[in-house]
Structure 1
């Protein structure tokens, strides 16, 4: 199966007037599995973009992310502010399939530059929020008496620790398998210890190793935060 051929055929068939298209995701990262879909960003001149749709060719699912130049910029800015940008990663780490006017190469180069620059640094308030979350989860981990609850707490704690490690190090956060991949690349030893700790919870019901890893990460960014933490309502909130 040739993912580039399939993705290009979908684009040429569905979007004959497209300005550009980029194939990203697992298909071009060397991590494609038997169930991976093809992630394709398609640039159009106008409506019906922006929208997202999943189609199929030769039994291979193809996920289409259709954008205009303006909607692409807006989505990328929003995702960057959230310190997690699937769109920039798809474009900056992808392969240009189609480029009628040079926009595809410009989008690819811009995405690569923005990825290298990294996400916005954590503000003091953002860091406090994450310290508070980890403190609360560690208390839940220590106090859990239900083994099933313990597994769910450990899952949330593992994710929160991984995100904090990445963000504190100026790295992009992510979800699911990509969170693991980015953590393994950035901090392989912490990643290994975090996974071992989580497996101890699931397989042996022992939360201590996971708790130690999480506490060490928390200590590295200012330590526990619980009593005295306070946040006002979100901006624009009305009773």
Structure 2
């Protein structure tokens, strides 16, 4: 199956009035697998957009991200503030399938520029919040005496450290496999040691290396934070 041709045919059949459409995700990359779905961003003139829907084509999931120009801009602003923007990555790294008025290529170029600029930097308070959270998780790791609890603590710690490395370094965070891919790109050596430490917890019940790597990351960003931490209550 040619993912670009298939996606273009699906867009033409389902959204004959679409202004533009972009195929994102892994489907048209070297990372494509037999299970890679088609992630398609479609730009419409108005309702029913914005909405997201999953359909199927020949046994393959198709993820539709339908937007107007305004809703796309609103979602991108919200995602950017959260330092994780699937829309920017789909559009900036994707393939333009349909472009009736030039907006598809303009959207792709703008998304690429925004991705290159990176997410907003961490504020001092945000960095302190993350240091505080990681400090507590390291204490949990050090005090774990239940091997099952240790697995859950290590899992959470792995994600926390990976995200902290990315956002503190001015890079986009992500979830799942994309979190690992971005961590490897940003810090390949730390990524290797972090994963090795996590595997030692899972396979051997040994947390020493994971603790060492996480502590090193924390120390580079100001160190442990417990006494002196204070935040006003919020709902």
TM-score (norm 2): 0.98
Q: Which residue of 2 aligns with 1:84?
A: 84
**d(CA) in 2 for partners of 1:182 and 1:169?**
11
Q: Post-superposition shift, 1:181?
A: 0.3
Q: Residues 44 and 67 of structure 1 are in contact (CA less than 8 Å); yes or no, is this contact kept in structure 2?
A: yes
Q: What RMSD, in angstroms, separates the aligned Cα atoms of the two structures?
A: 0.8
Q: Which residue of 1 aligns with 2:190?
A: 190
Q: Post-superposition shift, 1:223?
A: 0.2
Q: Post-superposition shift, 1:32?
A: 1.3
**d(CA) in 1 for partners of 2:110 and 2:163?**
25
Q: Which residue of 1 aligns with 2:49?
A: 49
Q: Which residue of 2 aligns with 1:231?
A: 231
Q: Which residue of 2 aligns with 1:137?
A: 137
Segments of 4+ moved more than 2 angstroms: none
Structure 1 residue runs of 5 or longer lacking an equivalent are none
| Secondary structure at 1:41 match in 2 | strand
**d(CA) in 1 for partners of 2:88 and 2:37?**
18
Q: Post-superposition shift, 1:40?
A: 0.4
Equivalence map 1:85-104=2 (5 Å): 85-104=85-104
Q: Which residue of 2 aligns with 1:70?
A: 70
Q: Residues 194 and 213 of structure 1 are in contact (CA less than 8 Å); yes or no, is this contact kept in structure 2?
A: yes
Structure 2 residue runs of 5 or longer lacking an equivalent are none
| Secondary structure at 1:27 match in 2 | coil
**d(CA) in 2 for partners of 1:16 and 1:147?**
56
Q: Residues 40 and 63 of structure 1 are in contact (CA less than 8 Å); yes or no, is this contact kept in structure 2?
A: yes
Q: Post-superposition shift, 1:56?
A: 1.4
TM-score (norm 1): 0.97
Q: Which residue of 1 aligns with 2:59?
A: 59
